[in-house]
């Protein structure tokens, strides 16, 4: 047969690898396959343009709509909670506990009981493995089961982290990963939704591609989105996934370097695993500084680092303290806020050199 005359081929003139052409959707399927193989047989992965859109689709597939309540870890990046607002639902924020810095199971259960007493059972729970540290999964899964609430696992920062030999991102009714540039594996922007059935995967793809009905013409009966991953991102993501183990090892090595570098520095504690069945990917190495015992604060250390061209960042500011969420409910105390007040994220790239660590160490030594 003669070559098909296309309606509108793309006019890309730059030289690209041959796999990249605008119609090669196999590239996206390959990326999904690779992640499915990594996560295990029973998981069904949908490649999307961001982790945020993955959370949004998880909420839609969970049936969250206007006026519904969604329980959400407060101590996290804004992207965890924004999709709750996209659905015109109400976030109910929960404080952290000190072992993992993640959602506190006790406050979570209290919140559920209180919301039920107030007349409305929350539709979903969003948990996070912050900075790669697995949250108290057994306790939380038990609570979600007990009250029959859908569990959404935001594993954006936790690709490669393990809990009792099981991979983070495989515990939720839905889970998500991000492949944004700053995450442990990058696809130059991207995310995935992890589902437990093919049916959910198919629905997610349908919604992510403008909800086109099966029809001979363009027909739409549901609200859709333009959320599918690009072919370029999928190709890069597939290649980069092969490096996951190396990247995780590098981040763990950073953590170990900080452990020795900070040994004996008074008032400073490194964020680490509190149980041996937990393995963090140590996406970011973080510290807490007790200003009473230390010669510096997170602010003065950050200023000092900045002078020497070393980048550090504050911890996430808890969402219940963000102006945009000021009218939303919060259950807990001051744990997340205290972490925010005392903490700092240290340089954590996978390619830090011995010399970089010496510069960081010398910078800290100036206070001592």
- Alpha carbon dihedral 293, 101, 160, 319, in 10-degree steps, equals -120
Angle in degrees, 0-180, between the axes of helices 354-365 and 244-261, rounded to the nearest 10: 30
CB 154 → ligand PLP: shortest distance, Å? 5
CB 112 → ligand PLP: shortest distance, Å? 22
* Type and span of the H or E element at 60: helix 51-61
Nearest to ligand PLP of 230, 363 (CB atom): 230
Nearest to ligand PLP of 191, 318 (CB atom): 191
Instruction: Establish if 51 lies at the interface with ligand PLP (CB under 6 A).
Output: yes
Nearest to ligand PLP of 80, 363 (CB atom): 80
Applying CB under 6 A, the span of 6-14, 72-80, 215-223, 347-355 interacting with ligand PLP comes to 72-80
Dist CA 107 CA 4 (whole Å) = 61
Instruction: Establish if 79 lies at the interface with ligand PLP (CB under 6 A).
Output: yes
Nearest to ligand PLP of 184, 301 (CB atom): 184
Out of 156, 207, 288, 339, the residue judged to bind ligand PLP by CB under 6 A: 156
Site string for ligand PLP, 303-342 (x = CB under 6 A): ----------------------------------------
Q: What are the E-state strand segments in the chain? A: 44-48, 69-73, 90-94, 124-128, 150-154, 162-163, 166-167, 174-178, 191-195, 268-270, 278-279, 286-289, 329-331, 343-345
Instruction: State phi, psi for 18 to the nearest 5 degrees.
Output: -60, -25
Out of 83, 91, 172, 191, the residue judged to bind ligand PLP by CB under 6 A: 191
Out of 71, 125, 128, 194, the residue judged to bind ligand PLP by CB under 6 A: 128
- Token pair of 306 as six digits: 């900045």
Q: How many CA atoms lie within 13 A of 248 on its CB side?
A: 16
Q: CA 121: distance to chain centroid?
A: 25
Nearest to ligand PLP of 135, 335 (CB atom): 135
Tell me which residues in 238-297 interact with ligand PLP (CB under 6 A): none
Applying CB under 6 A, the span of 34-42, 47-55, 252-260, 348-356 interacting with ligand PLP comes to 47-55
Out of 157, 203, 240, 328, the residue judged to bind ligand PLP by CB under 6 A: 157
- Alpha carbon dihedral 323, 94, 336, 263, in 10-degree steps, equals -150
- Token pair of 246 as six digits: 């190396």
CB 67 → ligand PLP: shortest distance, Å? 24
How many CB atoms are located within 10 Å of the residue 349 CB? Answer: 14
Query: Shortest CA distance to 17 belongs to which of 234, 242, 241, 246?
Result: 234
Nearest to ligand PLP of 105, 169 (CB atom): 169
- Token pair of 185 as six digits: 């594996």
Nearest residue to ligand PLP, scored by beta-carbon proximity: 51
Binding residues for ligand PLP, rule: CB under 6 A, are 50-52, 76-77, 79-80, 128, 154, 156-157, 178, 180, 191
């Amino acid at each position: 047969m003669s070559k098909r005359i296309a309606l509108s081929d793309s006019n890309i003139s730059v030289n690209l690898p041959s796999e990249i052409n605008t119609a090669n959707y196999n590239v996206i399927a390959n990326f999904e396959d690779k992640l499915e193989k990594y996560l295990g047989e029973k998981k069904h992965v949908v490649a999307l343009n961001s982790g945020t859109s993955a959370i949004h689709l998880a909420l839609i597939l969970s049936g969250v709509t206007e006026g519904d309540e969604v329980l959400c870890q407060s101590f996290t990046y804004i992207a965890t909670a924004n999709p709750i607002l996209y659905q015109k639902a109400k976030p109910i924020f929960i404080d952290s506990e000190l072992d993992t810095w993640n959602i506190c199971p006790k406050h979570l259960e209290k919140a559920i009981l209180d919301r039920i007493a107030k007349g409305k059972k929350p539709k979903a729970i969003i948990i996070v493995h912050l900075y790669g540290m697995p949250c108290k999964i057994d306790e939380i899964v038990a609570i979600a089961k007990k009250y029959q609430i859908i569990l959404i696992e935001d594993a954006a920062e936790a690709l490669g982290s393990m809990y009792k030999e099981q991979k983070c991102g495989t515990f939720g009714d839905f889970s998500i990963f991000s492949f944004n540039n700053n995450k442990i594996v990058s696809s130059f922007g991207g995310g995935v939704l992890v589902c437990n059935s093919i049916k959910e995967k198919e629905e997610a793809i349908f919604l992510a591609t403008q909800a086109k009905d099966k029809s001979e013409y363009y027909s739409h009966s549901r609200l859709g989105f333009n959320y599918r991953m690009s072919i370029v991102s999928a190709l890069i993501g597939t290649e980069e996934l092969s490096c996951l183990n190396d990247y995780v090892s590098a981040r763990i090595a950073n953590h170990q370097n900080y452990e020795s570098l900070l040994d004996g520095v008074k008032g400073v504690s490194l964020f680490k695993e509190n149980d041996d069945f937990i393995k963090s990917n140590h996406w970011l190495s973080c510290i807490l500084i007790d200003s009473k015992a230390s010669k510096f604060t997170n602010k003065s250390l950050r200023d000092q680092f900045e002078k020497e061209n070393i980048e550090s960042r504050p911890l996430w500011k808890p969402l219940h303290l963000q102006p945009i969420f000021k009218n939303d409910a919060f259950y807990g105390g001051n744990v997340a806020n205290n972490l925010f007040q005392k903490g700092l994220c240290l340089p954590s790239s996978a390619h830090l050199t011995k010399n970089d660590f010496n510069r960081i160490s010398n910078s800290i030594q100036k206070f001592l």
